[in-house]
């Protein structure tokens, strides 16, 4: 796969017939229709047009492959100075960059525009669990890591796994290899394992567990957002409980690395206006997202720090050398 990413990107370019910079704005969703990146592109593109930021319809292009690597390779290699293109990104993008999944490519080859929302991470236990707070759970791990198993909907080294490791690290527990994590096929399987008593806690996203919260099957020990989530105001953040940890499956954009500062600032300004729009507030509410806005330099600093942290933890658990 590492060799094929650029080849796939070149093939995609040939098939799509790019002859130069697009005459109208284009958003690349690095996956097939229906997923999170597709949602990000279509929502942001539609709102840009609706509120008058783009005179013409913004084209959405689905360019799947290599977990976002095909799109990344095409932008870096074929469209590096294209001022009309922007690309949907998420926590999966930075995780894969940190773990060298986009072979030969790095985060500094593009320019990170911003994030304007995200799916908050959560740490969940069964309703009858003895753990009442996130600190109860953390202290149990510190006392005996083998006695606390976490279930998550991503593979080992994926974002659900990393959320737990980063949380524990911020709380002073640094032996990442000692943490028991069971990667399952999606959040539904992970929460079922926890409710059934097969694991002591679940790590996932708020959107995955809302039904279980309402049914009373689970207790959310902490939401990993900067503020409490609307509609779930009784659930405390990790920060409130003394652990400075925010883990959002953020939704944002990057643009080619070769665009001018003026072009970059223009996209940043447009994204900030989308974030402030009524239309985006509605889209977040309807899709279980929470506000999470970092634009321009603030977002670039976030991406840099996020990749450094994921790289360090990934080395500790043997995902990368």
CA distance 172 to 175: 9
Q: Please give the pLDDT value at position 321.
A: 87
CATH code of 23's domain: 3.40.190.150
| Domain shared by 158 and 237, yes or no | yes
- For residues 44 and 57, state if they share a domain: yes
Do 196 and 217 touch, CB atoms closer than 8 A?
A: no
* pLDDT tens figures, 199-222: 999 999 998 888 899 999 999 999
Instruction: Give the whole-angstrom CA distance, residue 274 versus residue 116.
Output: 8
* pLDDT in the model for residue 155: 87
What rounded mean pLDDT belongs to the chain? 92
Q: Is residue 308 part of a domain?
A: yes
49: containing domain: 4-118+248-316
Final residue in a domain of this structure, among 216, 241, 266: 241
113 and 252, same domain (yes or no): yes
112 shares its domain with 157:
no
Q: How far apart are CA 63 and CA 302, in angstroms?
A: 26
Among 241, 274, 293, residue at a domain's last position? 241
Tell me, yes or no, whether 321 lies in a domain. no
> Is the same domain home to 187 and 287?
no
> And the tokens for 113?
């525009």
Instruction: Name the pLDDT band for 30 (thresholds 50, 70, 90).
Output: very high
pLDDT value at 168 more than 60: yes
Check whether residue 158 and residue 230 sit in a common domain: yes
Q: d(Cα 241, Cα 25) in Å, to the nearest integer?
A: 44
Same domain, 161 and 129: yes
**Is 137 inside any structural domain?**
yes
Percent of the chain past pLDDT 70, that is, above it, reads: 93
- pLDDT tens figures, 175-199: 999 999 999 988 889 999 999 999 9
pLDDT tens by residue, 147-158: 999 999 888 999
Q: Are residues 186 and 204 in the same domain?
A: yes
Is 216 in the same domain as 76? Answer: no
Number of compact structural domains in the chain: 2
Q: Indicate if the pLDDT at residue 4 is higher than 60.
A: no
Q: What is the pLDDT of residue 35?
A: 84
Q: Is residue 87 situated within a structural domain? A: yes
User: What is the pLDDT at residue 23?
Assistant: 63
Selected residue with higher pLDDT from 190 and 16: 190
User: For residue 34, what pLDDT is reported?
Assistant: 86
Q: In this structure, is residue 112 part of a structural domain?
A: yes
Please tell me whether residues 165 and 186 are part of one structural domain: yes
Q: Name the maximum alpha-carbon separation found in the chain.
A: 62
Question: Closest Cα to residue 27, out of 1, 8, 4, 53?
Answer: 53
Residue 232 has pLDDT above 80, yes or no: yes
Mind listing the pLDDT tens digit for each residue in 263-311? 999 999 999 999 999 999 999 988 878 999 999 999 999 999 999 999 9
- Residue 26 predicted with pLDDT over 90: yes
Kindly indicate the confidence band of residue 6, based on its pLDDT and cuts at 50, 70 and 90: very low
Question: pLDDT at residue 16 above 60?
Answer: no
Cα–Cα dist 31/37, whole Å: 7
Looking at the structure, tell me whether residues 137 and 86 fall in a common domain. Answer: no
pLDDT reading at 71 higher than 50: yes
How far, in Å, CA of 20 to CA of 126, rounded? 55
The confidence score (pLDDT) of residue 218 equals 97
Within this chain, do residues 221 and 144 fall inside the same structural domain, yes or no?
yes
End position of a domain, from candidates 207, 241, 275:
241
In a domain, 66, yes or no: yes
């Amino acid at each position: 796969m590492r060799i094929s990413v650029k080849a796939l990107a070149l093939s995609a370019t040939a098939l799509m017939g790019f002859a130069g910079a697009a005459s109208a704005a284009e958003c690349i969703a690095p996956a097939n229709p229906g997923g999170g990146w597709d949602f990000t592109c279509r929502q942001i593109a539609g709102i840009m047009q609706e509120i008058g930021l783009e005179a013409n319809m913004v084209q959405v292009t689905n360019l799947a492959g290599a977990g976002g690597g095909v799109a990344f390779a095409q932008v870096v290699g074929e469209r590096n100075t294209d001022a009309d293109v922007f690309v949907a990104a998420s926590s999966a993008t930075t995780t894969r960059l940190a773990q060298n999944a986009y072979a030969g490519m790095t985060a500094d080859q593009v320019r990170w525009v911003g994030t304007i929302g995200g799916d908050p991470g959560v740490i969940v236990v069964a309703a009858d669990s003895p753990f009442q707070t996130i600190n109860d759970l953390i202290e149990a791990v510190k006392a005996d890591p083998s006695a606390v198993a976490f279930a998550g909907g991503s593979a080992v080294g994926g974002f659900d796994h990393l959320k737990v490791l980063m949380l524990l690290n911020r709380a002073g527990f640094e032996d990442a290899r000692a943490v028991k994590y069971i990667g399952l096929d999606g959040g539904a399987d992970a929460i079922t394992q926890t409710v059934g008593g097969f694991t002591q806690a679940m790590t996932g996203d708020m959107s995955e567990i809302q039904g279980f919260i309402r049914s009373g099957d689970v207790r959310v020990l902490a939401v990993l957002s900067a503020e409490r989530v609307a509609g779930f105001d009784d659930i405390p953040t990790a920060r409130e409980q003394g652990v400075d940890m925010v883990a959002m499956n953020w939704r944002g954009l990057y643009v080619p690395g070769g665009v001018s500062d003026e072009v970059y600032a223009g996209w940043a300004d447009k994204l900030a206006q989308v974030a402030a729009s009524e239309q985006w507030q509605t889209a977040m509410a309807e899709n279980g997202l929470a506000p999470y806005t970092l634009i321009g330099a603030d977002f670039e600093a976030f991406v840099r720090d996020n990749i450094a942290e994921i790289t360090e933890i990934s080395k500790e658990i043997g995902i990368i050398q």
